[in-house]
């Protein structure tokens, strides 16, 4: 359990796994039915490999149509679907219909669909640059109220 100020944050991993592989899957099936198979790619939140594999199985998807970035970047939280798109789908040669399902804090979740055109997504740029001491430091000095 992590403590941030007065708010306690707790994650129940098994409950999240069960929710994402049952409730989310049921709602996707209910909303899309047979049309779920009409997409070129299925991009899921990259929480962990077990959840992604369970969703592939329960939604009866072709694993080759489910790009993965978890093995390269881990769970990058809210940007995991976008990271996956940039990592795996940046070099499309024709428009692709994308289905996205993401879930997160407080068992919030949602799904979307869109067409990704070739040349609209850049590949991820990897660099050795990093923040020292793992702390973000201000770029500009804050004005001193005594000087203002």
Domain boundaries, the chain: 35-122
Report the predicted TM-score, pTM, of the whole model to 2 decimal places.
0.78
Count the helices and strands in the chain (H runs, E runs).
4, 5
Angle of the 49-58 helix axis to the 13-32 helix axis, nearest 10 = 30
* Topology adopted by domain 35-122: Peroxisomal Thiolase; Chain A, domain 1 (3.40.47)
Average of pLDDT values for 63-87?
91
Phi, psi of 101 (to 5 degrees): -130, 125
Strands (E) across 16-133 are located at 41-44, 96-104, 108-116
Q: How far apart are CA 91 and CA 134, in angstroms?
A: 32
Please give the pLDDT value at position 76: 83
Residue 62: its H or E element: none
Q: Please determine, for residue 128, whether its predicted confidence score (pLDDT) is greater than 70.
A: yes
Percent of the chain with pLDDT over 90: 55
Dump pLDDT digits (tens) for 32-60.
999 999 999 999 999 889 999 999 999 99
């Amino acid at each position: 359990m992590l403590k941030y100020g007065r708010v306690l944050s707790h994650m129940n991993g098994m409950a999240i796994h069960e929710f994402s592989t049952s409730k989310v899957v049921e709602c996707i099936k209910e909303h899309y039915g047979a049309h779920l198979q009409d997409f070129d790619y299925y991009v899921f939140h990259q929480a962990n490999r077990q959840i992604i594999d369970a969703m592939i199985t329960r939604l009866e998807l072709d694993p080759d149509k489910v790009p993965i970035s978890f093995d390269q970047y881990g769970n990058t939280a809210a940007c995991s679907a976008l990271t996956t798109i940039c990592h795996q789908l940046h070099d499309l040669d024709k428009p692709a219909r994308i289905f996205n399902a993401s879930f997160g804090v407080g068992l919030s979740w949602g799904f979307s669909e869109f067409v990704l055109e070739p040349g609209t997504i850049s590949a991820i740029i990897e660099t050795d640059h990093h923040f020292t001491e793992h702390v973000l430091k201000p770029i500009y000095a804050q004005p001193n109220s005594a000087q203002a």
